[in-house]
Chain A
Amino acid sequence: MDNEEKNSKLKKSSQYKSQIALLIMTVSVFGLFMITSPEVFFKGRIYQAFLSTVPIMGLMALGLTFVLAMGEIDLSFPSTMALSGFIFTSTFQATGSVTLALIYSLLSGVIVGFINGILVTSIGIPSIVATLGMQFLIRGFSNIISNGLAKTVALDKTISYKIFAEKLGVIPVQSIWFIGITIFFYFLLFRHKFGEHVLFIGDNQEAAKMMGVNVNRVKIMVFILMGIMASFAGILSCYRMRTWWPTMGEGYIMMVMAAAFVGGTSMFGGEASIEGTFIGSFVIGSLEAGIVAAGLSGFWTQFVCGVLIIASVTIHTLAKRRK
């Protein structure tokens, strides 16, 4: 009994080591910002700004966490975000119906995800290649249909603006969406049959197949989930800026991946951390503002971001290695 207790305690401590390290890192990043620019980081406004911007990339990072847990990757989501944003704004302009615009926009994410899934499963293209191709294809497609011109829409005159862009008290609604979806995804991945299948596929695809998991169907569904998250991020972006612009989503790809990796999700599949992605999104998403507020040039953002990724992934890897 002694032995058993010791063993399970040991296991737990290594399990939480990663999470503790992530928390320490988060606290020290924000602590550093508070020291370097107290006039900014001791006021609520900057946090309010984070709470409205970080969720947009964070939602995509949550979707990507599922893809990574399955041992795959998706590079097409920034373009999907742009395409869905365009479909959202143009449907709204043409029909004046927010509901219709939301449905068509999310549907475009479903379709992109479905195509990604088919390319990876039925055709058998590695996901990194398939989604790289799709990234260009969709970006090109949305530029062709939009003529590369930005669109401004009067979304602030609709009731839906309250749900997707305003504040609830002092809290921006984007962050409420982000928290809600994070909790839902946590249960979906760790407490639901679907998530268990995702983890088993990422861990040992053959075993999953032999135990009766429909591997192809689950993979397609995860790519669809990623597509929906990208669409939703596009919609929130359009609401926030009341504009759609053709380069929407560009620059997100590395940040979104960084958020997932900093959070402790690995590329090997079979394991993931939803709460890690949530925290990682805030760390990565607040870097630029913090560094610029400290009076450093934007070039430092990339450097610090790189340091954070290397440091956190090193810690996660070492924590896992110890038995």
Chain B
Amino acid sequence: MDKLVEMKNIYKSFDGVVALKGINFEVGFNEVVGVLGDNGAGKSTLIKIISGVHSFDEGEMYIKGVKINPKKYSVKMAHNLGIETVYQEKALADKQTLWRNIFIGRQITNKLGFLNIKKEKEETDKIMHVLMGFRGIGVNADSAIKTLSGGEREGVAISRAMYFEADLVILDEPTMALSLQEVKKVLKFIQNIKDKGKSCIYISHNIANIHPVSDRFVAIDRGKIVGTYNRKDISLEELSEELIKYTKSSIQINQDERILQNG
């Protein structure tokens, strides 16, 4: 068991559209991996398979050396294996309170399934003050998510992952809706994960953000892995050049396909 996540020749399609075409991907222990690629390249599908939202059609996946059965794998199992995912801001329910959003799917309950609301609220207060650094700004455990700013929402999603102490934190475009100040917080959070000996998969469009905190980069294009780079071996400029190359070629190919179809 030398890898935290190991994917071999993974295929996934949705209604006949192939999203992943034979992906070989791995994340080591205490490794931060940045996943790069254009919209629709397959980044989100890749991480949703790891976090148990989607199953895969073909191939093999191992988590901490355990072979995963795609038919049985679920978000709950991923949680139990220590995988936490922070999805953009989409994974929060707007009309529900902060404390409900922190504990959804992992509620503190009695034997009959009734919620221990007092405990959940207390824990939420702790999370807010210690992990999120919210202080006296009119936000409390009872606030509905829709009253929070974009940065605060991201903070809630990230704190949720931190609270449950994952071995692998997956971040899906965590800096998209954030101010510079808030981006710094997220990067610090990733550094924390690394310092604690945990692992992280980080998806981003923004190469400049992702570069200093990553150990390794994986570039995906149209469902395939097209490049793997160690940060030590590649500078930010070189990495940008590489990616532009792929983006260009994919635009070129799209144009060629269109010409073929039309002509």
Contacts and interface: CB of A to CB of B under 8 A. Distances in A.
A212 B105 CA distance: 5
Given A3-B137, A7-B138, A212 B76 contact: yes
A6 B74 CA distance: 43
Given A210-B75, A213-B105, A203 B115 contact: no
A11 B146 CA distance: 13
A210 B87 contact: yes
B104 interface: yes
A193 interface: yes
Contacts of B53: 209-210
Chain B residues touching A, majority SS:
loop
Given A8-B140, A199-B96, A270-B95, A323 B147 contact: yes
A191 B117 contact: yes
B115 A191 contact: yes
B168 to A, nearest CB: 16
Give the most central of B87, B104, B114: most A CB within 10 Å. B104
Nearest to A6: B138
A211 interface: yes
A285 B128 CA distance: 46
Contacts, number: 91
A197 B96 CA distance: 11
A11 B142 CA distance: 10
A200 to B, nearest CB: 5
A206 interface: yes
A206 B89 CA distance: 11
B93 A207 contact: yes
Interface string B94-118: 1110001000111101001111010
B244 interface: no
Contacts of A302: none
A1 interface: yes
B204 interface: no
Chain A residues touching B, majority SS:
helix
Interface in B63-90: 74-76, 79, 85, 87, 90
Contacts of A6: 138
B96 A203 contact: yes
B263 interface: no
Contacts of A196: 100, 104, 107, 115
Contacts of B142: 8, 11
B16 interface: no
B49 interface: no
B137 to A, nearest CB: 7
Contact of A3 (B96, B104, B138): B138
B190 interface: no
Contacts of B143: 11
Contacts of B75: 209-212
B91 A193 contact: no
A203 B94 contact: yes
Interface in B110-141: 112-115, 117, 136-138, 140
Contact of A193 (B79, B92, B96, B107): B107
A211 B104 contact: yes
B91 A210 contact: yes
Interface in A269-284: 270-271
B105 A211 contact: yes
Contacts of A3: 136-138
A3 B142 CA distance: 15
B220 to A, nearest CB: 20
A40 interface: no
Contacts of A208: 93, 104
21 contacts: A3-B137, A4-B140, A6-B138, A8-B138, A191-B114, A191-B117, A192-B112, A192-B114, A192-B115, A193-B107, A203-B95, A204-B92, A206-B90, A207-B104, A208-B93, A209-B75, A212-B75, A212-B79, A213-B104, A213-B105, A271-B95
Given A8-B140, A200-B104, 17 more contacts: A4-B137, A8-B142, A187-B114, A192-B109, A192-B112, A192-B115, A196-B100, A196-B104, A200-B96, A203-B93, A204-B92, A206-B90, A207-B92, A208-B93, A210-B75, A270-B96, A323-B147
Q: Which 3 A-B pairs have the closest CB atoms?
A: A212-B75, A212-B105, A7-B138
